[in-house]
Amino acid sequence: MTDYSNPRLPEDEVNVSDRRPLRSFFALAGAVVLLCAAAAGAIAIIGGEFAHRLPYAVERQLIAPYAERFPPREHAVENYLQALAERLAKGVTLPEGMVVRAHYVDEPVVNAFATLGGHIAVYRGLLERVPDENLLAMVVAHEIGHLQHRHPIRSLGRGVAFGAALTMLSASVGGQVADRVLGASGMLTLMTFSRAQEEQADDTALEALAAVYGHAGGALETFRLMREAARANGRSEPPKFLSTHPLTQARVDRLASAIARAGLRPDGPRAPIPAAVRSAIERDAKDRDPRRTG
């Protein structure tokens, strides 16, 4: 029996190859996350494109339960906004069957948004700040531009598809993204548009503005006003209009050159906001915030 022996196994065992399990994990997990992100991105793009092909009638059905909660009101400001939106929309070729519905939101936020079903909302905070109708018309026309190109439904399709894709990674993160897109409030206020979409809407807005007033006066001022509002707010909550509509100098410059390129008159006689509308806005402001005077 002395002829035989079982030698000691070497410390560095050939049967166990993973000396750095954490590194293997990060390499593998990184690859998986990259693949999932690429897949989610692709699904989001497909979702956006697919949503765009959805007939407008279907979009209106989709929004109907929400829209019912905001019926047309007999309010001086809302009537005025509706009339303004209709005047601006005349020069814009909207998708078949789309009717623009303007809403007035009695809140001090400097914001306006376009959402599904041809709905546009303008907040009181914005109305209080515009010096004349032309600036307001620029904002409304911009939102009509979003409607024309059906950006809200694209954004929704993209967001929901992206959220659904993210659930592959984590149910809660994906759910949160989808929830945010669908909007906890029911009204889809936090719809985000890409820079290219904003520019498309700007172009439509310029055309509509020029068609109604004969010049592009107020277009650039609108952006300046928004930026001042942001500065005035300082560190506190920035106007929502800014977070959903990134307001860069590049965008203002682009708009200025677009005005020049289209050969539009840069300015002309301004239309005032009717006195009745002004006083209605002031009344609302006082009702909502009694501390404020004048």
Partner 1 sequence: MDLILQNFDLLLFAVLFITGYVAGRWNERRHYASIRKREDEFAGILVFTNRFPPPSTTRVATVLVSGSAVISEDFFKGVVAGLYSFFGGRIRSYESLLDRARREAVLRMKEQARAQGAGMIINVKFQTFAIGGRRASSVKGVEMLAYGTALSPVGA
- Shortest CB 26 distance to partner 1, Å: 10
How many chain residues bind partner 1 (CB under 8 A)? 26
Q: Does 236 bind partner 1 (CB under 8 A)?
A: no
Closer Cβ to partner 1, 32 or 64, answer by number: 32
Residue 35 DSSP class: H
Close Cβ partners of 94 (under 8 Å, ≥ 6 residues apart) = 100, 118, 144, 147, 148
| Residues in region 10-69 near partner 1 by CB under 8 A | 11, 13, 15-18, 21-22, 24-25, 28-29, 31-32
Q: Which member of 42, 64, 171, 250 binds partner 1 (CB under 8 A)?
A: 171
- Shortest CB 278 distance to partner 1, Å: 41
Asked whether 242 and 223 are in contact (CB, 8 A), the reply is no
Q: Which helix (H) or strand (E) holds 114?
A: strand 112-115
Q: Which member of 6, 93, 185, 236 binds partner 1 (CB under 8 A)?
A: 6
Q: Does 184 bind partner 1 (CB under 8 A)?
A: no
Q: b/e string for 255-286 if b means 16 or more Cβ within 10 A?
A: beebbeeeebeebeeeeebeeebbebbeebbe
- Distance, in Å, from the CA atom of 267 to the CA atom of 59, rounded to the nearest integer, reads 37
- Shortest CB 46 distance to partner 1, Å: 22
Q: Which residues here bind partner 1, judged by CB under 8 A?
A: 1, 3-6, 8-9, 11, 13, 15-18, 21-22, 24-25, 28-29, 31-32, 170-173, 176
